[in-house]
Amino acid sequence: MSFQTFSLHQLGWRPGFAQHLTLEDFEAGYPARVVGVHRNGLSVLSSRGVATVVLSHNLESAVTVGDWVLLEMDAARVLRMIERHSLIARIAAGTGQGTQTIAANLDTLFVVTSCNDDFSLSRLERYLSVAFESGVEPVIVLTKSDLCADVDGYIDAARTIAADVAIVAIDATSTVSVGQLARWLEHGQTVAFVGSSGVGKSTLANTLAGDDTQTTGGIREDDARGRHTTTSREMFALPSGAWVIDTPGMRELRVGAVETGMNTVFDDIAAFAARCRFGDCSHEGNAGCAVEQAIAEGQLDARRLVNYRKLLRESTHASNTLKERHDRNRQFGKLSRDVQRAQREKKGRDY
């Protein structure tokens, strides 16, 4: 059991969260931040320290790392979730319910790639779409700058697809160099890293953590039944006071439904498309297509349109999958209600 306590400010509380809470809520409970989700419940941090709390069935699939919950004053129980300001989610694998929540209340998503063969504009566009869709500010981090002779070339290339996104080149192994990320790592800020394997996400997190042992994960605590359990902490603090969310879902982030995010990333294509002759132009050999004309005139990179189409296909597929599941669940719900009603009516007749 840890007796370290945390202020709301330290935990990343935003004044906006309180707008969704009533006076009754504050009398019944107090806010806590979810730092781990496991079978017995949640690991949370609050003004009362570290705790493991149980979660009712109806919240089980919804609550995720980074979430804020309202805990009951005198019981280790979640009363309700507190509305998030951002959420990274993806389509759940298998046939379960719709989306799987991965990380909540992130302020910044560090999109990590290296100044070498890993660098791919299409992959950056993919991650940026996820960030914008989720309401999280992306920052492009180019690692291994120390091993590269033309760092500016990589920065310039990244800028061609992300004019308004911060781009920082670093040596992830150097404390001085990673200091360039300080403004996104202030007290109470919450961040996560995405990028391919080997680009330096762990190295960067370790360098930022310094000798701090909190990155190593395991914390011992009492679970709801008073037993000692070791749970992996999926959200940990850096010495700067910022929080890092590092979960398996975050590491293998895939594209869900990101059409809204794509509108920001591909705003140039949207602007050209507005000038196509036909409103339903597919930008594939249609007469009067302004997008294809832009490519022919060298104003738009052909690669970018290809990636746009690919992401849009994936996104549409994800939306359709969600809709089908939703419809199936609704039909099933209607079916069970019909059966129940028929049973009630039959019972009525039997009496």
Ligand X SMILES: Nc1nc2c(ncn2[C@@H]2O[C@H](COP(=O)(O)OP(=O)(O)OP(=O)(O)O)[C@@H](O)[C@H]2O)c(=O)[nH]1
Q: Can you give the binding site for ligand X, defined by CB under 6 A?
A: 143-144, 146-147, 171-173, 195, 197-203, 251
CB 264 → Zn ion: shortest distance, Å? Answer: 20
Distance (Å, rounded) from C-alpha 291 to C-alpha 95? 38
The CA radius of gyration of the chain, in Å to the nearest whole number, is 24
H-run or E-run covering 41: strand 41-46
Q: Determine the 3-state secondary structure of 160 from DSSP.
A: helix
Q: Determine the 3-state secondary structure of 103 from DSSP.
A: strand
Distance (Å, rounded) from C-alpha 78 to C-alpha 55? 6
Could you say which of Zn ion, ligand X, none residue 203 binds, taking C-beta under 5 to 8 angstroms by partner kind? ligand X
Could you say which of ligand X, Zn ion, none residue 319 binds, taking C-beta under 5 to 8 angstroms by partner kind? none
- Feature table: binding site for GTP: 143-146, 195-203
Strand duo 166-169 + 99-104: pairing: unpaired
Could you say which of ligand X, Zn ion, none residue 82 binds, taking C-beta under 5 to 8 angstroms by partner kind? none
Binding residues for Zn ion, total number by CB under 5 A: 5
DSSP-derived letter for residue 92 is P
Could you say which of ligand X, Zn ion, none residue 147 binds, taking C-beta under 5 to 8 angstroms by partner kind? ligand X
Site for Zn ion contains 283 (CB under 5 A): yes
CB closer to Zn ion, 286 vs 321: 286
Provide the phi-psi class of 70: left if phi over 0, else alpha when psi is between -120 and 50, else beta: beta
Distance (Å, rounded) from C-alpha 127 to C-alpha 141? 12
**Both tokens of residue 259?**
């059409």
Site for Zn ion contains 304 (CB under 5 A): no
Strand duo 78-82 + 41-46: pairing: unpaired
CB closer to ligand X, 131 vs 141: 141
CB 16 → ligand X: shortest distance, Å? Answer: 33
Strand duo 87-91 + 99-104: pairing: antiparallel
CB closer to ligand X, 133 vs 246: 246
CB 111 → ligand X: shortest distance, Å? Answer: 12
Determine the interface stretch with Zn ion among 126-134, 142-150, 222-230, 284-292 (rule: CB under 5 A): 284-292
CB 62 → ligand X: shortest distance, Å? Answer: 27
- Feature table: binding site for Zn(2+): 276, 281, 283, 289
CB 213 → ligand X: shortest distance, Å? Answer: 18
Could you say which of Zn ion, ligand X, none residue 281 binds, taking C-beta under 5 to 8 angstroms by partner kind? Zn ion
Distance (Å, rounded) from C-alpha 264 to C-alpha 128? 9
Q: Determine the 3-state secondary structure of 7 from DSSP.
A: coil
What residues make contact with Zn ion under the rule CB under 5 A? 276, 281, 283, 289, 291
